[in-house]
Amino acid sequence: MNGFKLPAWAATLGNRNVAAPLIIVLLLAMMILPLPALALDALFSFNIALSIMVLLIGLQTKKALDFIAFPTVLLVTTMLRLSLNVASTRVVLTEGHTGPDAAGKVIEAFGHFLIGGNYTVGIVVFVILTIINFTVVTKGAGRIAEVGARFTLDAMPGKQMAIDADLNAGLIGEDEARRRRSEVSQESEFYGAMDGASKYVRGDAVAGILVTIINIVGGLIVGMVQHDMAFADAIKNYTLLAIGDGLVAQIPSLIISVAAGVVVSRVANKEDIGGQLVTQLFTNPNVIFITAGIIGCMGLIPGMPNFAFLFLATLLAGLGYSVRKKQLAAEVEPEVEEKTEVVAETEDASWDDVLPVDLVGLEVGYRLIPLVDKAQGGDLLKRIKGIRKKFAQEVGFLAPTVHIRDNLELKPSSYRITLKGVEIASGESHYGQLLAIDPGMVTGTLAGQTTTDPAFGLPAVWIDNNTRDEAQNMGFTVVDAGTVIATHLNHIISSHAADLLGRQEVQQLLDHISKESPKLVEDLVPKLLPLSMVQKVLQNLLSEGVHIRDMRTIIETLAEYATQTQDASELTAQIRVKLGRAIVQQLFPSGNEVSVITLDNNLERLLTQAVQSNSASTAIEPNMAETLARQAESAAKQQEQMGMSPVLLVSAPIRAALAKFLRRSVPHLRVLSHEELPDSKIIRVTNLIGGSA
């Protein structure tokens, strides 16, 4: 039996893609085509229900982006109310002479409810509701959205840098970083859209007053002139219809405005609005007791409504007692049994007492112990695992395990990083505080302990947690204490990758490659090159910041040139040429143009002669060496200020010697040879190092 199949037009209407155009067309049709009273009743009821749904959704959101469609909802609901106003006005003016139910039962019921037999009071109350909606709720929500949009836009650079810091520290992955960047962008767009959408609601409030006035005046003219109604009957019918029509439109408008104010005025956390109100208003028993006392004293004053005040004071006192009782019960901790230490009998020394030196170690002061203690919520161990994984994916081999221990000899908030048992870096990180780093474009100053970022030496300030938003709005990059240590450790591991690649790591790397290409590794080690030579070549690459992920190309190049030379520097140079495309991609990830620094022709000729006779680091005159280092550092800083990677392009014979010479004075300057640049790249010289000085 064949299943029932919807006709083409029904399937089209069921498609979500046509829902929005269909709604807009229907709203426009309501303004043009006459609607019967029954249809008006249904649409006015739907409008009220829709506004209540929007308010409830706004109350249950935990952050503004949970209701990202709210600006569009504001526009659509406003258009719906205006369309209903136009449709009801047509019915009021054409059929109003027949009685108060001419425009439907909903308008009649609301009119009778508000007027209550007194038309003057009904008009005044309606005007007051409209003024409240226009001048208080809508205007306030629009102002909050405007300020939120400005501060969110100002804070975007700081938030983006914080995301990059978490990504570099290995705390988050690429997908999470991409999601957070999208969220930051959506937040700015949301508040900007809310600022504009609130203008629709304000205009709707003004239109509501004008439509009501038009209905009353126009109704009087139509009723008395066209239908020969008495003035008293005309004012009775058309005033009731006009006020009922205005009220049935203004109540949903007021509800939507309140929802807008709730959404844009809340501060995002893990609770909805109801949870925030209960948690923050009724969890402090001292405040509740004081309030109960004040209300009770007011209830004792003669002439006051004593029963109401005293009854309320009793309720508050009971609530305060209940809250205090729950807090005391939560603070009771189970007794912990004392553990006695058993002193073991001293044993004779053995080889077990000889402990190997940790390749990478992290020692922390006692105040930083919560960062590495999972029981206290510390996530530094998780971050370090992320750092090692990210390092393995980017650099090409697995970094050794980081051994963490506490050191009571350090300052309470200090830490130090060791490499093969020797301190290689140190710093301070204050647990419970945030580090606001100045990336060079902040718009103000912060109160706090001035310091420098331990990883990159940027100026920074230690601030309290409650000033995070203020710092981000000024353009600071704000990170917590754990991220400070993780970022510093990641920087140290990356910059000392060559020291971490031992013979054991090289063997493990070759074993890993041989699983897929066993013949490739077998023909190289040990037939053509010993393992120590392969290790030296890989260390040469890592010391100059070249990743070794493409081990297939490296091994094939070694196998090709191992029969011609056994010199590690020459083999490294050949591999760099083969990896030229990857090296350039690492330095210039986008675009087809490379902006580089070059040497003056005379200086390059002198350096070439020096290299051919000896090594550049020992053959250059001291004055020339000092000038070369100073000008190279200045040129590298200029490149970085222009947002470019500092790269020095020289001829192949002097590349290795010059890179080794500049590694100490300008460690962030990368030296490339012309042979390493792909033919497809366009070279643009942005700076020149001259030898005349």
pLDDT at 499 over 60: yes
How many other C-beta atoms can be found within 10 angstroms of the C-beta atom of residue 73? 20
pLDDT recorded at residue 340: 44
Residue 308 lies in a domain: yes
Domain presence at residue 566: yes
What's the CATH code of the domain at 561?
Answer: 1.10.8.540
Q: In the prediction, which pLDDT does 116 show?
A: 61
Chain Cα centroid distance, residue 505: 37
pLDDT at 446 over 80: yes
pLDDT at residue 618, rounded to an integer: 47
pLDDT digits (tens, 9 = 90+) for 99-115: 667 677 777 777 776 66
Q: 10 Å Cβ neighbour count for 676?
A: 20
Q: What does the pLDDT average to over 79-102? A: 77
CA 115 to chain centre: 52
Q: How far is CA 302 from the centre of its chain?
A: 58
Sign of the CA dihedral with 534 first, then 535, 537, and 542 last: positive
What does the pLDDT read at residue 338?
Answer: 45
Beta bridge partners of 479: 435
- Which tops the pLDDT comparison, 295 or 484? 484
In this prediction, residue 169 carries a pLDDT of 66
- Verify that 606 and 621 share a domain, yes or no: yes
Residue 325's Cα: distance from chain center in Å?
40
Same domain, 593 and 664: yes
Where on the phi/psi map is residue 487: left (φ > 0), alpha (ψ -120 to 50), or beta?
A: alpha
pLDDT above 60: residue 659: yes
What percent of the chain has a predicted confidence (pLDDT) above 90?
Answer: 28
Give domain status of residue 10, yes or no: no
What does the longest C-alpha to C-alpha distance in the chain come to? Answer: 121
The whole-number pLDDT of residue 426 equals 94
End residue of a domain, out of 452, 471, 497: 497
Assess whether pLDDT exceeds 90 at residue 318: no
pLDDT value of position 556: 94
Judgement on whether residues 360 and 478 belong to the same structural domain of the protein: yes
Question: What pLDDT is stored for residue 21 in this prediction?
Answer: 75
Confidence check: pLDDT of 336 > 50: no
Contacts of 292 (CB under 8 A, 6+ apart): 313, 314, 316, 317, 320
**pLDDT > 90? residue 670:** yes
Which is higher by pLDDT, 162 or 428? 428
Q: Which amino acid is at 278?
A: V
Q: Determine the pLDDT at residue 481.
A: 92
Q: Residue 171 falls within a domain, yes or no?
A: yes
- For residue range 184-211, what is the model confidence (pLDDT) as tens digits? 777 777 777 776 776 776 677 777 777 7
Domain assignment present for 12: no
What pLDDT, on the 0 to 100 scale, is given for residue 497?
94
227 within a domain of the structure (yes/no) = yes
Q: How confident is the model at residue 362 (pLDDT cuts 50, 70, 90)?
A: very high
User: Three-state DSSP class for 163?
Assistant: helix
Q: Which of 207, 183, 159 is nearest to 473 (CA)?
A: 159
Q: What is the pLDDT of residues 247-304, one digit of tens each?
A: 777 778 778 777 877 777 665 555 666 666 666 677 778 888 888 888 888 888 887 7
Kindly tell me if the per-residue pLDDT of 432 is higher than 60: yes
Of the residues 535, 555, 578, the one at which a domain ends: 578
pLDDT of residue 461: 95
Clarify whether residues 68 and 176 are in a common domain.
yes
Give residue 95's pLDDT: 76
Mark whether 210 and 116 lie in a shared domain: yes
Same domain, 362 and 303: no
Which residues in 279-318 are b (16+ Cβ under 10 Å) and which e?
A: eeeeeebeebbebbeebbebbeeeeeeeeebbebbeebbe
659: tokens are 């890179």
Sign of CA dihedral 280, 284, 290, 294: positive
CA-to-CA dists, residue 684 to 589, 648, 655, angstroms = 16, 12, 19
Domains in the chain, number: 5
Do both 34 and 183 map to the same domain?
A: yes
Lookup result for tokens 């089209």 = 12
CATH number at residue 662: 3.40.50.12790
The range of the structural domain enclosing residue 367 comes to: 356-497
| Distance (Å, whole) CA 508 – CA 521 | 12
CA distance 389 to 382: 11
- Is residue 452 scored above 80 in pLDDT? yes
Q: Is 311 a domain residue?
A: yes
Mean pLDDT of 423-433: 93
Using omega within 30 degrees of 0 as the cis cutoff, is the peptide bond preceding 526 cis?
yes
Same domain, 376 and 488: yes
Angstrom distance (rounded) from CA 469 to CA 476: 10
Which pLDDT value is given to residue 227?
A: 77
Q: Compute CA distances 115 → 118, 122, 215, 244, 326, whole Å.
A: 5, 4, 16, 9, 49
| Most confident among 54-68, 258-272, 354-368 (mean pLDDT) | 354-368
Same domain, 559 and 651: no
The answer to whether residue 16 scores a pLDDT higher than 70 is no
Query: Are 474 and 434 in contact, with CB atoms under 8 Å apart?
Result: no
- What's the pLDDT tens digit per position in 122-143? 777 777 777 777 777 777 766 7
Please report which confidence band the pLDDT of residue 78 belongs to, taking 50, 70 and 90 as the band edges. Answer: confident
pLDDT at 334: 47
Mean pLDDT of the chain: 81
Mean pLDDT of 52-71: 79
Residue in the structure block whose two tokens are 């409810």: 113
The mean-pLDDT minimum among 161-165, 221-225, 312-316 falls in 161-165
Alpha helices in 169-230, H assignment, sequence order: 174-221
- The whole-number pLDDT of residue 2 equals 47
Q: How far is the C-alpha of 147 from the C-alpha of 164, rounded, in Å?
A: 26
DSSP string over 475-516: T-EEEEHHHHHHHHHHHHHHHTHHHH--HHHHHHHHHHHHTT
Query: Does the pLDDT value for residue 30 go beyond 70?
Result: yes
686 or 22, higher pLDDT: 686
pLDDT value of position 543: 92
Distance CA 347, CA 367 (A): 34
pLDDT for residue 332 = 57
Residue 500: pLDDT over 80 = yes
Q: Based on C-alpha coordinates, what's the Rg of the chain?
A: 38
Residue 41, both tokens: 């009743």
432 and 558 within one domain: no
At 347-359, the pLDDT tens digits run 677 777 777 888 9
Task: Provide the pLDDT for residue 396.
Answer: 92
89 and 222, same domain (yes or no): yes
> What pLDDT, in 10s, does the model give residues 512-565?
999 888 888 988 988 899 999 999 999 999 999 999 999 999 999 999 999 999
pLDDT of the residue at 434: 94
What was the pLDDT predicted at 115?
62
Q: Which residue has the higher pLDDT, 497 or 89?
A: 497
CA distance 49 to 27: 17
The span from the first CA to the last CA of the chain, in angstroms, equals 94
Do 513 and 612 sit in the same domain of this protein? no
Task: Compute the distance between CA of residue 440 and CA of residue 418 in angstroms, rounded to an integer.
Answer: 30
Specify if 349 maps to a domain. no
588: tokens are 């210039």
Write the CATH number for 490.
Answer: 3.40.30.60
